[in-house]
Every structure is written in C-alpha cells, then in structure tokens.
Amino acid sequence: MQSRVAIEKQFRLIRTALFVGWAILSAVIVAWSVGSATQRAHSDVMQKAGETLAVQTEILSGVLDKYRLLPPLLSRQSSIRTLFVRDTGGNAQTIDARRTAESITGMSAARDVAFFFPDGELLANARGPDARSAVALPELIEVARQGRLGRAALSYGGDDRTYAFSSGVRRDGKFVGVVIVYVDFYRVEAAWALSARRIFVTDRTGTVFLANDPDWRLKPVSDLRQAGEPSRYLINGQFEDRLDQVRRLPLLEWNLHVLADPAPVETARITAAAIATLACLLAGVIVLVLLRRNEVAILRTRTDRATALRLERVVRDRTRALSVTNRSLSHEVEVRRKAEDRLRKTQAELVQTSKLAALGQMSAALSHEYNQPLAAIRSYADNAQRFLERGATSEVLANLSRINGLVERMAELSRTLLSFSRKPGATVGPVPLGTIIDEALLLARPRARAAGIANILVTPNVADLYVQGGRIRLGQVFVNLVNNAIDALAGTDDARVEIDARRDGDRVVVTVSDNGPGIGAEQLAKVFDPFFTTKGIGEGIGIGLSIVDNIIRDFGGTIVAGNRPGGGACFTVTLRAASAQGDASGTGSQGADAGERV
C-alpha cells in the first residue's frame, strides 16, 4: 500500500501536468474564440455597410438615370427643335425657350434646364446664371455634336455642385443646338444625412464630390486621411479608425464610399476573450475540485482510524472555505443586481429627460407663434369692452368677429408649427395677395406704433395680384417678416418698412425691406436656421424665419435674405402666380386654407 506522502506526490505531479495542459488548451481556446468573434463581428459590420452601400448606390443611380434619359427625349421633341432659331428682331423666341425650360425644370424637379446654340451661346435656361459659367460646356456641346450623351460633374465654388447631361438637337439632319439638364443632389445628400455612417463619393481625381458631411465636400480624400494610415479618417476634428466599403460607378467614373465604425469588432474581441477566459477558469476549477476529491477519497481509504479526526478537521476547513466562497459569490450576485437596477433607473431618467426636452422645444415654439394673435385678441377685447360701455354694439360685434378670426388663426398656427418637422400634404389655391398683406399689417401695426414706426408703405399694385398658397399661412409669413423689420428698426430715426410686389412671368415677387442696420455677411447664411437669432436672451428663440422658409417651400416658392444697396435688410419672396378667376366665387382662398393639413 502506498504511503500518504507517495500518494500526495503522485497527485502533485498529476495536478502539474493538468495545469500545463489546461494553460495550453485555454490559450488555444481563447485565441480561437477571439479570432472567431472578431471575424463574425467584422463580417456583420461589413455586411451592414455593404447593405447601406447597395441601397445608396441604387438611390444615386436612380436619380442620375432619371435625368440621364431626359435630354435625349427632349431633343427629339418637335416643340424643342423649333426653339433653336436666333432672334433677329426681338426676343420672343428667347422668352418661349425660357418658359419651356422653366416648365420642364418644374415638372422634372431638375436643378436647371438650358438650351445652347452649337457655338455655345445660351438660348435660355430656367434658373440662375450657372449655365453660362459652366467650365465643361464646350465638352458637353462637342459630345452632343457627335450624337452621344454628354455628361460632366460641375462645381461652381463653395458648396454648389451639380451633374449635367447633354444631348444634341438636330433639325432636318443638321446640328442646331444642345439640351442640357442639370441635376440637383440636395435630396440625395439630405437622405444620406440620416445615416450614422459617413457616405461620400469621390471622382477620378480623388476629390470628394458628394458627402453627408458638409466639411468633406470638394476636398481631396487624401486630406481626410491620416498620413501613413489609410484606414484612419478625420471624424469630428480627430482621426479615427474606419472600415471603408467602396463601390465603383464606372459610367460616372465615381467611387461610392461607406465608412463603418469598427468599434463593434473591438467590443466583440474583448467580450469573446473575457467569456473564453472565464469558461477556461471555470473548467480548470471544476477539474481541480474533482481531482482533489479523488485524492481525498483515496487518502481516506488508505488511512486508519487514527487519522479520522484529522480528516474530519480537513473536511471542516474545506467546508468553511466553500462557505466563504458561497458568501462571496452571493455578494457578487447582489452587487450585480444592484448595478443592473441602477442602470435601468438611469435609462428611465434619460428617456424622461428626452421627453421633457421635446416638450420644452414645442412649448417655446407655441409661445413664439401664439404671442402675436394673443396680443391682438387682448387689444380687441379691451376695445370691445369700451365700445360696450358706450353702447356701440356694432363695433363690439366687429371686434368679436375679429377675435373669432384670430382664434381660428391660432388653431391654424398650431397645425403650421408641425410643418417645421415634416412636409405637409397641403392643397393650395389662388389667394389675393393684397388681402393677405392687409391682414398681416392689421396685426403688425400696433406693434409698429409702440416702437415708434409710422411708415409702413405698400405699393398699390399689390391689390391686383393673386398667388398660389394658403391664406392664413401666407398671412403668418408676412406678419413674421414685418415684425422682424420692426425689431431691427428699434431706436432708428425715420424708420421705414416697405412692401413691394410685382409679377414676373408665372411668378409673383414680393419684397419686404427696411432702412435699418441690415444683416451681417456672416449671418446671411444662417438666418433661416432653426433657433438662430441675434436678439437678446428672452427676446426671441429664432424659429420665426425657419417657419417662414418652410411655409414658402410648401407653396412651391423661395425666400432669400439680403441687404439693400442703400442700407437695411431685404427679404425677397417668390410665389407662383394665380389668376383672380379661381377666387371669384369667394371659395378659392378659403378652400386653399381649408385643405391645408399638417
């Protein structure tokens, strides 16, 4: 029979061998687990980035394919071919061409449509001077002359970019002109802005042409990467690791990039290493416990009764150690449970904070937009009380009617505020511009008188103009613009606000200007941004002009901020013109308002 010392020595050798084997096997398992988890996480990240890349490729290709087919179709239209005749005694042909270009631009939602003669002379275009300044114009005309579809990516400086498609126009087999369609990428980049990943397009020179980060646009991609580290990109002012998924667009000679964040890969690597290490430790402890129990059992069978007391003491010590371990494990379980409770509580508080922030923003917006009608209601109510004391019931009824109209306006204002976050499905109709401006000035003049401004001038021809829109929301537009002018004129001598309107083709152009200090050059680009204001704390929250911009866009118009040559700010509103017949029955403008839904 083996002695106790020999048995213990034998088990020590077994434990040493098992420990070495366990260490080697654990290292292999941990390395395999980390590699496998890293590969799966990397594949998952790249798969999601690939899905984003595929979707955005289809979106970009769909936008370009839509406009790629437009120039060849237009060049084959007989009505288009007849436009390419040089005027000799007037500009009627040019006017017809411009109207045709504007009509095509409006229906196709293109950035611009232009008609050029073979020598590069511009016949007409729909919008702006960009068509004249295109550096790639000779190339587009030459390719069209060859009977092929011309294409070119154009940049006009700053953040202004477009893509042009050209097609030749032939009459009786003779090359007489070129149709060029310019594509607007605003909606594409706006859709990309919703993605958490960086999405951008590089041209054949390696310049970023499109991107959902405005700071990246028209910059060489080499400037956005860390030198010597092609996988590190400039993100929010510092270089970070990114996984670059690229898809070639051969027809455009563009590369579409999607940058994926590799953080999930690192997280998966650390998690897999921790789990594998804990599993190996647990397995080692289990084997060690089993081996120890086997050793104790063998020693117990080979000892005599004299060692029973000592064996019992060892058992008690072991039991005590296990109790301590159990208590320690129980404590750890309790600590983890409390940590999880704190985490859930923190998450609930964050959700509640987000709700309160949203309510605060809406409350501020409602306070801003309701302030003017409430002030008018209070004024009319005070006047009605005085008229009632004098027995002038007709004046009381008139003031109550105006109060009722303002209450209806406030209800419409609550629906209008929603257009700040999503595009309304509104229906519009012909409305009288003169009536709308009169109603707006009815609200604004008391505030102007309080500010010491007596001169609010309106040109007489406003009364003869009709525009496409909604009566109440257009009234809100001009109330905001006039009130902004009043605020700017505070403390100005000989303060004056001027409202002018004229018809320009199928558009009506309205200008609201003042002789105040004007708008700073660095502020012009931000005046329509939400919550941007130059007023002091408590005087405004900066959403009035943003709401005005949303309303004008809903009606298919534009608004531009600028400064008058003689000093002062000038806001130019362009709306679609309408005829008075649509409002003759008295239902046109009201119908337009009744159909507005946000």
How many other CB atoms sit within 10 Å of the CB of residue 381? 13
Residue 329 lies in a domain: no
Provide the pLDDT for residue 162. 83
Domains in the chain, number: 4
Same domain, 455 and 577: yes
Find out whether 153 and 161 touch, Cβ atoms under 8 Å.
yes
Helices (H), 302-392: 308-390
β-sheet bridge partners, residue 571: 512, 561
How far is residue 398's CA from residue 288's CA, in Å, rounded to a whole number? 97
Cβ(60)–Cβ(249) under 8 Å?
yes
Q: How far apart are CA 323 and CA 329, in angstroms?
A: 10
Residue 294 within any structural domain of the chain: yes
Q: Is residue 471 part of a domain?
A: yes
The answer to whether the predicted template modeling score (pTM) of the entire model surpasses 0.75 is: no
**Do both 51 and 2 map to the same domain?**
yes
Of residues 359, 489, 472, the one with CA closest to residue 416 = 472
pLDDT along the chain (598 residues), means of 10: 74 86 89 86 81 81 83 87 72 80 85 86 78 71 87 73 87 88 81 80 82 80 77 78 82 82 82 89 88 81 70 85 87 87 60 41 50 78 85 84 80 49 57 87 77 84 89 84 85 84 92 88 81 64 78 90 88 90 45 40
- What's the CATH code of the domain at 486? 3.30.565.10
- Name the β-bridge partners of 234: 239
pLDDT given for residue 476 in this prediction? 81
* Locus of tokens 């750890």: 332
Contact 412, 424 (CB under 8 A): no
| H or E stretch at 66 | helix 4-68
Considering only the C-alpha atoms of the chain, give the largest distance between any 2 of them, rounded to a whole number of Å: 133
CA distance 403 to 385: 13
Which domain-ending residue is among 418, 436, 452?
418
Domain termination residue (choose one: 418, 444, 466) = 418
Do residues 441 and 402 both lie within one domain?
Answer: no
CATH code at position 100: 3.30.450.20
- Tell whether 473 and 453 lie within a shared domain: yes
Q: Residue 127: inside a domain, yes or no?
A: yes
326 assigned to some structural domain: no
The conformation of residue 425, written as its DSSP 8-state character, comes to -
What are the respective helix, strand and coil percentages of the chain, to the nearest 5? 55, 20, 25
Single residue among 283, 303, 323 that ends a domain in this structure: 303
Q: Is residue 253 part of a domain?
A: no
Measured in degrees and rounded to the nearest 5, phi and psi for residue 111 equal -70, -40
pLDDT score recorded for residue 590: 45
Q: For residue 103, is it within any domain? A: yes
- Do 411 and 550 belong to one domain? no
Q: In what order do the strands lie in the sheet with 161-171?
A: 122-125, 112-116, 174-183, 161-171, 150-155
The packing angle between helices 433-450 and 308-390, to 10°, is 100
Degrees, nearest 5: CA angle 329-296-24: 65
How far is the C-alpha of 331 from the C-alpha of 177, rounded, in Å? 85
| Distance in angstroms between the alpha carbons of the first and the last residue of the chain | 95
Residues written for the chain = 598
One domain, residues 580 and 431: yes
Select from 454, 439, 466, 465 the least CA-distant residue to 497. 454
Verify that 164 and 17 share a domain, yes or no. no
- The answer to whether residues 501 and 567 belong to one domain is yes
Which helix (H) or strand (E) segment is 511 a member of?
A: strand 507-514
Place of tokens 């006009």: 156
Residues 16 and 114 in one domain: no
> What does the pLDDT read at residue 537?
56
Same-domain pairing of 572 and 445: yes
Residue 111: give the domain boundaries.
69-187
**58 with 93, same domain?**
no
